[in-house]
Amino acid sequence: MASKKEKASAYWKENIKYLTILLIIWFLVSFGAGILFRENLNEFRLGGFKLGFWFAQQGSIYVFVILIFIYVRLMNRLDKKYGYDE
């Protein structure tokens, strides 16, 4: 392993990469599917729901919960990889 400082900055870079990906999904399901593109999505249906409406009142919330738990897993793995877990 490289010096302590390089290790820390490599860890931080990977962390930022995860954050960016997860936050893009966060944005897409709520602001995207639930707000900006909901009219288009409302053309499709999920059972009795119009799809855009479903994302705004149900779907986005489910995805939020899943996102945090994915983040927890990714970070736990990352901590182990760099020896930051305790």
Supply the minimum distance, in Å, between the C-beta of residue 30 and another protein: 5
Report, in Å, the least distance between residue 3 CB and another protein.
13
Q: Is 58 in the site for another protein (CB under 8 A)?
A: yes
36 sits near another protein (criterion: CB under 8 A): yes
Cα torsion angle, 51, 55, 31, 22, sign:
negative
Considering only 8, 24, 40, 77, the residue that binds another protein (CB under 8 A) is 8
- The reply to whether 43 sits near another protein by the rule CB under 8 A is no
Neighbours of 49 (CB within 10 A): 16
67 backbone φψ class: left, alpha, beta (φ>0; ψ -120 to 50): alpha
Contact call for residues 82 and 11 (beta carbons, < 8 A) = yes
Q: How far is the CB of 56 from another protein (least distance, A)?
A: 4
Residue at 15: amino acid letter: N
Contact call for residue 86 and another protein (CB under 8 A)? yes
For residue 30, state whether it binds another protein (rule: CB under 8 A): yes
